[in-house]
Structure 1
Amino acid sequence: MFGLQLLVFGIIILPALSAPSDIEHAMVISSTESSTKEDGKEGQDTYPTPPTVPQIYEMRIWSNINNRFARTVVVSKVRNFANVAKEVSFSTLLPESAFISGFVMEVEGKNYTAFVKEKEEAKRIYDQAIASGVAAGYVAVNARDSNRFTVSVNIRPEEKAAFYLTYEQFLVRKNELYEQVINIHPGQPVKNLGVQVVISESRKITNLKAPPLRSGNEIGTDKLELDPRADIEIVNDTAATVTFAPNLERQKELAHIFGTKVENGLVGQFVIQYDVERDPQGGEVLVQDGYFVHFFAPTELQPLPKQIVFILDTSGSMRGEKLQQLKEAMSKILDQLNERDLFNLVDFNSNARVWNLDDAAMSVWYPQRTSSEETDTPNLQYIEFPKAYPVNRENIEKARRAVMDLKVDGSTSMCGALKVGLRLVETERIRPQDSIERQPIIIFLTDGRPTDMNTSSIISQITEFNSELRRSAIFALAFGDEVDKTFLQTLAIRNSGFAKPIYVAADTSLQLQDFYRQIASPLLSNVTFKYEPSVTSLTKTEFPIHFGGSEIVVAGYCGTKLPSPTIDSTSTRGRITLKPTVIRTVSNMERLWAYLNINQLLEKKDTSEIESGTFKRKALELALKYSFVTPVSSLVVVKPNYTTSTVDTEQTKQVGHLNRRLYSPRRGSSRMHHAKSVQESELDLLTHTLPWLREILTDDLVKLPQGTYKLGINETISDVVNCPKTPLNQEGRCKLLHNCPKAYPFLRTSLNFFDHFCVLKNEFAGVCCPN
């Protein structure tokens, strides 16, 4: 049988076109038997009875955060102590915003290195795998805003497997903090379990902390007994290291506090929070090798006054706990409105109602019908709705009573409700109550799907209606599992806002309050970043609103000349122009630029009506160039030392045929694939994994600052040569590059290789390899 054939969150894991291996079809399992073994070394077994499930003897997570861009490596080492072959699983939760960028397996002494390839027919591969008996299960752990990576293999008795997964993410600033969340759920207590986060910033680090561990499913439940007892070492003003290393007893204690089975080990989230000192004006621009990233979060600005329109779903599906939690949240949110704000309260089901807070009986419903025979929807322009209310104690109390009186009924007519909200904004522009210009914001909450018209029509009509009136930002809250989140995301993005899922749980009210805090203080409107004509490859440069506590990030290419941008925007003082500080850095700005670009292209792909294919193609090109696993690319792992070519982009487009070729290769194709020598195939594999190697490689020679050395792609060197510094900052052994796949996740650039270079037999280029 051929090995590994599994799709998880857009990740395809396929065998190479090669001879059959010993690895059987994959199935994900959850280990439940705890370990008391000291480590996984030979000759140190301390089990009175061999465990019946594979044991994780080491799990390490390293994360390096450079200027808000985090690169995390998860290492898991497992051994099968049973006297029969067993299935070994590696499963980890990744932040939803993370891109996988590397994966290496070591199974029974063989290395399997993954490549990022184009994603085509991924769902069909998964269905075919299931239909052919390739099972795909799950580990009983879940967390919000996360994706799961899972892979399984069979290993023989007493053999080991090691997994090295690398993912990268940009930390988004919310509520004046950057936050990195690291999921830990090995499925059993682990003797050697540790997390280390190294932070390096261009500006002074502030408010660094490791709050109580989280379950990943609720907020606002911080317990002192879940204190991670992390070791926080301040290296200097701009650098720090945070370490979390619970022993076996502490892991079991934490599992008990979380209410999970002790034999399943720690199941939680380790969190790092921090901020940096701000440039009070135009932010800072970091430049390296022609690429730059502009961070903009000005201080010392007064919040803009706003008109906020709450549009709340009261259809039948909101009955019970959902409505009660909505009422609790709105009561708290109303207290957070600012004195110069105006607000409207709208609820909707089959019709929309604009509340008259002075007399509920005088609230206005839309559509209105003057007689039972009238069926046409009246023009919004001819309806007089209640005015927006200024924020004061009396009006807030009236609004709170109105919210408490909300009742559920009817269907979910969304389009009319949204048009009413936009009309309320326009009314205040035409009939201002004072001379203050306010930032219009619409908060639209629903738990269902529209019943009045299809989603594409609603998006088109509302976007057009909004552009004709005073442009309002629409923020959509997707309440529960039944709502169409893709529709709400597209609607919000097209109207200068964003959508956020609200999970129905004990903390629903807190989730709604947390969302409101993110948009409570608009500081600037109509923000435009302007760069010289020579600056190219820019990400988004126009932003309708900048909120306090957040950050705007723009990236681009400036070549050899430093950029000199300006930021034009509107504040409480009127139109202003700001200038940033420009700094050269050693961080990898190009990779961060690629990450931001891909995210924006994917967003455009999902929301564009015309150019979706163009945006997808551009996102795919960048994903393949920088080895990011995204919704348009996939991860392919191949068997090493093969004599056939790897599965390339064109082949993955025809995965239906690929499966057939795996089991019955065509003769002509086989002869063609065998034309390559083993050495050429090994070199292809290595340069696929480490693309920067091509820049310093000529034939089998690598050019380094220390001199020119042989790569030794076809060599086997058994000499034991100790070296002082592996990529994990530990002592190790010098090995040829192709013999140390566990270092690959750390060697993202040639500079990383230079830092850990060592020499073998005075002529071969080696790398200081972790033991």
Structure 2
Amino acid sequence: MKSTKRNSIRWELEQLAQKSNQPANHKNKPPRKYQKLGLNWKDVVIFSMAMFYTTLYHVNAHAQSTQPVNFDDISSGMMMSFNKTTGEYHSLQLIQTDYDVDVFGLLATIKLKQTFLNPQDHWITEGVYAFPMADKSAVYQMKMTIGDRVIEAEIHEKKQAEQIYHQAKSEGLTATMVKQYRPNIFTTDIANIGPNEVISVEITYQMNLRYDQLFYELRLPMAIKARYTPADVAPNLPSTQGVNDLNYRRIDINLDAGFALDEIRSLHHNIEIAQDFGKHQINLTDQQLYDTQDFVLRWFPKTAQTPKAAYFSEIKDGFEYSLLMVLPPNTTEKSSKPRNMTFIMDTSGSMHGQALDQSKDALLFALSEMDDSTYFNVIDFDSTAKVLFPASRKASPDNISLALDFVDGFSSDGGTNMAPALQIAMQRENIKSGYLNQIIFMTDGSVGNESMIFDQIAQDIADARLFTIAIGPAPNNYFMSKAAMFGKGTYTHIASLDQVNDSMSHLFAQLARPALTDVAVAWNTSGVIQSPSVIPDLYMDQPLVITSKVPVSQAKAAPSFVVSGLIGENNQQKSWSEQITLNHDGQTTGIARLWARNQVEEMTDDLMLGGDYTVLKEEIIELALKHRLITEFTAMVAVDRNPDASRLARARAAAQANAAAHQAPFPQGSLGWRWNLLFGMLLLSGALMLQRRV
């Protein structure tokens, strides 16, 4: 009672002092809100400071935490564990990545093995493994090793594979499913992973090698840049978190080119080369890689050894499948038509730094190569597009000077919104009748709406030609090569600044010479199904590469065919043909899969361009199931049907515990340490105020 009385007297004295100190014109001012609560200004300051610093700490801690990303941000193969309570994916440790590559002629077989560790002390009911792939890869085998169990995958239609996988997961069985997310990105779902278990995933795929500018190229993707998707296009992707990649890599390549080599060159990484007769063993010398550059290996035939034709075949199920490469003759005559050149320059945020410098150098080189008979224009784009001239102009010194000033002002920012720039380049006002209308498109291809861009190019390209130039060490090769195909042009990759002059010189030589048109292959037998069914125009140093299928009963004689085409322009066109006879091979494995993969690609292109969805889908599924290929509509699934009994019991117990935790909206500790800190500081503030009043 005494303390209450003292408090009352003290409060009355404070109120009296406040009233006596107030100016006369404030005597009738209503009391402040905190005064109505019985608080003085010191109490309010203490409480406000506590709330301010608590909020500041919470915001700072949140900003420093790992932000969710989507599958378009994948920079390497990664395994992510799924948390049912938060709906997010969390990374496991990628402790080793192994590439074992066998190259025979034009064919490469790659075994990609990535080993992950679950460092958690609890079971993971589901994980996701995502990995970048080279475009045109035929993925046909996958196996998962968990402990001493090796699980082989089977091919099914995607819906059926998903049903098998989810049923196995619900029963506590270890299961895995491999799906195609994009043509160059694949994902694997894994169910029921034990604490501290080491998991290995081995993917086997095949692809034919690229030949261009007198060299062969093998590319192993190590990174995929984040991709821009327009606001009106929903990516429909799960949220994920990054992988703890220890960056350990091993790359071993057995190279049997089939001819003498002048040079073997790695563009970005240190390698060791050992030769055994006509074969070469190439090994990556760095054990840890901290860059995001693709591994690119090129080998150059000796000049006299450059083959004019190469033929590989495989006999399977009553058919002979073949892979054919032919080098048409190069013409030294330049095109007689004047040119109208439009340069599209990507200055989005993904081009920041060296990529933008390379693009500027390439564009400056192009501007310096033009004469006053050439018309030109320059378009710069990021989130929006900006054009130098309303319509193309002559390459006069004054106009070139304006273009140089325009290029000097480029800076990297914004999104990779390609569509408006392509629309300007292909619109009627920018196309000149009677000219070679050539569009040179410089970008890293970091887009997520590829199919929309492909459809735009196919619909609007008309008589123009689109030539894509990839900038940087890890571009979106699938987009760049496919855009050039729809644009009836070529694809050039500039990986570093020291390649700008050579690459651009070669491209300008291609642009200055007429292409080989109306290319056709006439076989000496009937019933041949080849891919591509319609052969595109071929430019200087560009080979004809086709895969084919023919019944064995029709292929008893040595394979023989006539390759023909037209060289030149208008009334000066000359016909060219060459008959080629090669010996039966029949011993190479994997050609049938490559043929099927190319057929699927053609049908997928038809789908993007508005073909009959139902018919094409059924044809893709039938072909993929027969050749064990993962496609947009097929997937691989594997289930451990004979698990260890004790392990199965632990997996089911973990699944039940996770289900129970998921049903409880706020289990103990679910709000996290930040909430505990906030609650503690609120209690502290209350205690200080109580002490102050006492």
1:525 is aligned with what amino acid? L
Q: Confirm or deny that 1:111 pairs with 2:150.
A: yes
CA distance in 1, matches of 2:215, 2:208: 13
8 Å CA contact retained: 1:351, 1:416: no
Once the two structures are superposed, residues 273-327 of structure 1 have per-residue CA deviations (whole angstroms, 9 ceiling, x without a partner) of 2144689896344444322222133355327437252243699999997987754
The equivalences for 1:391-406 within 5 A come to 399-401=403-405, 403-404=407-408
Partner of residue 646, structure 1:
none
Q: Report the more deviating stretch, 146-155 or 160-169.
A: 146-155
Once the two structures are superposed, residues 529-559 of structure 1 have per-residue CA deviations (whole angstroms, 9 ceiling, x without a partner) of 2313714211125444323344331121244
Partner of residue 206, structure 2:
168
Q: Confirm or deny that 1:301 pairs with 2:336.
A: no
Partner of residue 638, structure 2:
637
Partner of residue 233, structure 1:
275
Partner of residue 577, structure 2:
578
| 1:521/1:544 CA distance change after superposition, 3 Å | farther
8 Å CA contact retained: 2:330, 2:541: no
Partner of residue 508, structure 2:
520
The equivalences for 1:720-731 within 5 A come to none
Question: Which one of the candidate residues 192, 196, 201 is aligned to 2:252?
Answer: 196
CA distance in 2, matches of 1:497, 1:315: 22
CA distance in 1, matches of 2:420, 2:434: 24
Question: Any idea what SS the aligned residue of 2:214 has?
Answer: coil
CA distance in 2, matches of 1:343, 1:99: 43
The equivalences for 1:73-92 within 5 A come to 73-75=111-113
The equivalences for 1:103-502 within 5 A come to 103-120=142-159, 154-155=193-194, 162-182=200-220, 187-188=245-246, 194-213=250-269, 227-228=270-271, 230-236=272-278, 240-244=279-283, 246=285, 251=287, 254-255=288-289, 258=290, 270-276=295-301, 283-289=309-315, 290-298=320-328, 300-302=330-332, 304-305=334-335, 307-312=339-344, 327-335=360-368, 337=369, 342-347=374-379, 355=389, 365=390, 388-389=394-395, 399-401=403-405, 403-404=407-408, 413-414=420-421, 417-420=424-427, 425-429=431-435, 439-444=436-441, 466-467=461-462, 471-475=463-467, 493-497=485-489
Question: Any idea what SS the aligned residue of 1:274 has?
Answer: strand
| 1:105/1:577 CA distance change after superposition, 3 Å | same
CA distance in 2, matches of 1:161, 1:487: 32
Cα offset for 1:71? 0.9
Question: Which one of the candidate residues 539, 544, 547 is aligned to 1:547?
Answer: 539
| 1:270/1:348 CA distance change after superposition, 3 Å | closer
CA distance in 2, matches of 1:466, 1:415: 9
2:216 is aligned with what amino acid? Y
Cα offset for 1:596? 2.4
Partner of residue 67, structure 1:
105
CA distance in 2, matches of 1:326, 1:351: 17
8 Å CA contact retained: 2:388, 2:406: no
Partner of residue 744, structure 1:
none
Q: Percent identity between the aligned chains?
A: 14
Give the number of the structure with larger relative contact order, counting CA–CA contacts within 8 Å between residues 6 or more apart.
2
Cα offset for 1:509? 7.6
CA distance in 2, matches of 1:313, 1:268: 22
Question: Any idea what SS the aligned residue of 2:606 has?
Answer: helix
CA distance in 1, matches of 2:373, 2:251: 45
Partner of residue 607, structure 2:
605
CA distance in 1, matches of 2:601, 2:452: 26
8 Å CA contact retained: 2:530, 2:548: yes
Once the two structures are superposed, residues 162-189 of structure 1 have per-residue CA deviations (whole angstroms, 9 ceiling, x without a partner) of 5432122222224433222346799448
| 1:116/1:460 CA distance change after superposition, 3 Å | closer
1:107 is aligned with what amino acid? I
Task: Decide which structure has the larger Cα Rg and report it.
Answer: 2
CA distance in 1, matches of 2:162, 2:505: 38
CA distance in 2, matches of 1:182, 1:319: 22
| 1:26/1:233 CA distance change after superposition, 3 Å | farther
Question: Any idea what SS the aligned residue of 2:537 has?
Answer: strand
| 1:122/1:591 CA distance change after superposition, 3 Å | closer
8 Å CA contact retained: 1:285, 1:580: no
CA distance in 1, matches of 2:128, 2:159: 25
| 1:177/1:461 CA distance change after superposition, 3 Å | closer
8 Å CA contact retained: 1:103, 1:163: yes
Once the two structures are superposed, residues 718-763 of structure 1 have per-residue CA deviations (whole angstroms, 9 ceiling, x without a partner) of xxxxxxxxxxxxxxxxxxxxxxxxxxxxxxxxxxxxxxxxxxxxxx
Question: Any idea what SS the aligned residue of 1:545 has?
Answer: coil
| 1:274/1:449 CA distance change after superposition, 3 Å | closer
Normalized per residue, the structure richer in helix is 2
Question: Which one of the candidate residues 68, 75, 93 is aligned to 1:31?
Answer: 93
2:376 is aligned with what amino acid? N
| 1:150/1:206 CA distance change after superposition, 3 Å | farther
| 1:596/1:401 CA distance change after superposition, 3 Å | same
1:604 is aligned with what amino acid? D
Cα offset for 1:120? 4.0
Cα offset for 1:636? 1.0
CA distance in 1, matches of 2:191, 2:502: 38
Partner of residue 538, structure 1:
530
CA distance in 1, matches of 2:301, 2:312: 14
Cα offset for 1:342? 3.1
| 1:592/1:197 CA distance change after superposition, 3 Å | same
Partner of residue 16, structure 2:
none
2:322 is aligned with what amino acid? F
**TM-score (norm: length of structure 1):** 0.51
CA distance in 2, matches of 1:641, 1:95: 35
Cα offset for 1:113? 0.8
Aligned residues: 505
Cα offset for 1:83? 9.4
Give the gaps of 5 or more residues in structure 1: 1-6, 14-24, 33-54, 135-143, 214-226, 260-266, 356-364, 366-384, 430-438, 643-658, 664-771
**TM-score (norm: length of structure 2):** 0.56
1:599 is aligned with what amino acid? E
8 Å CA contact retained: 2:562, 2:580: no
Cα offset for 1:151? 5.1
8 Å CA contact retained: 1:303, 1:521: no
8 Å CA contact retained: 1:473, 1:495: yes
Cα offset for 1:69? 1.8
2:561 is aligned with what amino acid? S
Give the gaps of 5 or more residues in structure 2: 1-69, 80-86, 174-182, 224-243, 644-654, 660-694
Cα offset for 1:593? 1.9
8 Å CA contact retained: 2:443, 2:469: yes
